[in-house]
Amino acid sequence: MPAAPVVVPLDGAPDVDVVVVGAGPAGASAALRLAERGLDVALVERAETPGAKNLSGGVLYLDALVCAVGDAWREAPLERVVTRNVTTLLTADAAVSLDYADSSLAGPPARGAAGAPNAATVLRARFDPWLAGRAEAAGAFPMPGMLVEALAVAEAPEAPGGRRVVGVVAGGQVMRSTAVVLADGVNSFLARGAGLRGEPAARDVAVGVKAVLGLDPRRIADRFGVAGDEGAAHAIIGDATLGVAGGAFLYTNRESLSLGVVLRLDDLVASGRTAREVFTHLLTHPGLQRYVADAEVLEYGSHLVAEGGAAMVGTVAWPGCVVVGDAAGLTLNSGLVLRGMDLAITSGLAAGDVIADAVAAGDPDATLAYQELLTASSAYRDLAAHAGMPDLLDRRGPYGPWGETARDVLRATYTIDGSDTVPLRVALRRALRRQGWRTWLGDARRIWRSA
């Protein structure tokens, strides 16, 4: 729960230059950059091991990782390189898929990031400790198993707003620092407790439920049409979520699959269903059995996802404190891709640079420059480019009508049963009329604005 900040005197020697709260991708990247720039950094994580409390679908876009660790991306515990992206409209009795397989995805992206492929799947229980380990190797001091209870603030008349964050409270003691990086995830209790950020609206967060399903690698290759270390990322909408606003994903790892749903909290509550019920529906859906049959559930967990887009980001910098990653609302759901880890890394690196400059200048209030740097970053620009996405995801079309229309048109086209065949244009017109022209126009306009 949000805890009020502890007010301490302004004067006092810092115990460390920077406290980073949270050793997810955002915090580990910030700690890495700060340590590389010669600062004394404590990376505080409430879990005994980084990643133990974290959860992702698992597709990591690698450009950000390369910016963080350079060529060492090759040592990262990646599962499979994503060379196949499949988008499926699911109905109760049919699945209509767009299958984008492209060998160029196995090589570096156009900007040529150190030979890294575009994207790979990761399992957080392996990836987070690795990235936090890079920060430690660079000189950051890891403090696992320690919950930060509150921020420590001081009256500072010369600081904009008259207050400055001067450390954190952990284990009942104040740990003083020149700056604090809040990388504590989507709930961001510390910033909320200090009144720096408000509680996210139910419309701006989703519940993610995910299972890791063990499956023999040969079966993965056969079922998903991938070879060697290549993998597939399936985005699934429609009957996957029992009509609740959201979507599902199915990703391939080396010896397992990651299957999950992301359900917008307000709509889930309104539906009267539970996230577990929707997940069970997905796991047993006939349209997915050719992929998941006989797979064994190895892990199961749930976590909140930020869904509010750029509008959720708001203020992320104060004197002595910056907010990064999910805590800043930096998750992008474009309908086809879900990105959070790469935005977390990008924001962590930006925070590291701003704070290193602020410490070098002897001006803790220079942390305010992070707001502008983040807004100019590719992470924020990508979010802003999809600003209309939450509105599109508000429509009912993605959760039923789109898939039913696609199914009806294709069924009419492919069914040859002795009666007169229906030309595609007629099948399309009939299907669109059944759903209503006005609905389709509304959906199309929002797709045009946001996708």
Ligand X SMILES: Cc1cc2nc3c(=O)[nH]c(=O)nc-3n(C[C@H](O)[C@H](O)[C@H](O)COP(=O)(O)OP(=O)(O)OC[C@H]3O[C@@H](n4cnc5c(N)ncnc54)[C@H](O)[C@@H]3O)c2cc1C
**Does residue number 230 form part of the binding site for ligand X (CB under 6 A)?**
no
**Does residue number 264 form part of the binding site for ligand X (CB under 6 A)?**
no
CB atoms within 10 A of CB 192: 17
Q: According to CB under 6 A, which one of 18, 19, 20, 23 is a site residue for ligand X? A: 23
**Does residue number 183 form part of the binding site for ligand X (CB under 6 A)?**
yes
Contact stretch for ligand X (CB under 6 A) within 50-58, 86-94, 219-227, 396-404: 50-58
Binding-residue total with ligand X (CB under 6 A): 42
Of 124 and 407, which has the nearer Cβ to ligand X? 124
**Does residue number 339 form part of the binding site for ligand X (CB under 6 A)?**
yes
For ligand X, the binding residues in 265-324 under the rule CB under 6 A are: 303, 305
For ligand X, the binding residues in 61-90 under the rule CB under 6 A are: none
Closest distance of CB 416 from ligand X, Å: 40
Of 94 and 249, which has the nearer Cβ to ligand X? 249
**Does residue number 46 form part of the binding site for ligand X (CB under 6 A)?**
yes
Closest distance of CB 21 from ligand X, Å: 5
**Does residue number 55 form part of the binding site for ligand X (CB under 6 A)?**
yes
Q: According to CB under 6 A, which one of 20, 43, 54, 268 is a site residue for ligand X? A: 54
Q: Which two tokens stand for residue 430?
A: 């009939």
**Does residue number 390 form part of the binding site for ligand X (CB under 6 A)?**
no
The site string for ligand X over 342-381 (x = CB under 6 A, - otherwise) reads: x-x-------------------------------------
One-letter-per-residue 3-state SS of the chain = CCCCCEECCCCCCCCEEEEEECCCHHHHHHHHHHHHCCCCEEEECCCCCCCCCCCCCCEEECHHHHHHHHHHHHHCCEEEEEEEEEEEEECCCCEEEEEEECHHHHCCCCCCCCCCCCEEEECHHHHHHHHHHHHHHHCCEEECCCCEEEEEEEECCCCCCCEEEEEEEECCEEEEEEEEEECCCCCCHHHHHCCCCCCCCHHHEEEEEEEEEECCHHHHHHHHCCCCCEEEEEEEEEHHHCCCCEEEEEEECCCEEEEEEEEEHHHHHHHCCCHHHHHHHHHCCHHHHHHHCCCEEEEEEEEEEECCHHHHCCCCEECCEEECHHHHCCCEECCCCEECHHHHHHHHHHHHHHHHHHHHCCCHHHHHHHHHHHHHCHHHHHHHHCCCHHHHHCCCHHHCHHHHHHHHHHHHHHCCCCCCCCCHHHHHHHHHHHHCHHHHHHHHHHHHHHC
Which residue number is nearest to ligand X in terms of Cβ? 340
Q: How far apart are CA 215 and CA 143, in angstroms?
A: 35
Q: According to CB under 6 A, which one of 33, 37, 53, 80 is a site residue for ligand X? A: 53
Of 36 and 326, which has the nearer Cβ to ligand X? 326
The site string for ligand X over 144-163 (x = CB under 6 A, - otherwise) reads: ---xx---------------
Closest distance of CB 57 from ligand X, Å: 3
Contact stretch for ligand X (CB under 6 A) within 38-46, 159-167, 173-181, 405-413: 38-46
Contact stretch for ligand X (CB under 6 A) within 179-187, 239-247, 384-392, 439-447: 179-187
Of 148 and 292, which has the nearer Cβ to ligand X? 148
Of 130 and 431, which has the nearer Cβ to ligand X? 130
* Nearest Cα residue to 184 out of 364, 21, 353: 21
Of 90 and 262, which has the nearer Cβ to ligand X? 262
In the complex, the residues that contact ligand X under the rule CB under 6 A are 21-27, 44-47, 50, 53-60, 147-148, 183-185, 190, 208, 210, 260, 262, 303, 305, 325-327, 331, 338-342, 344
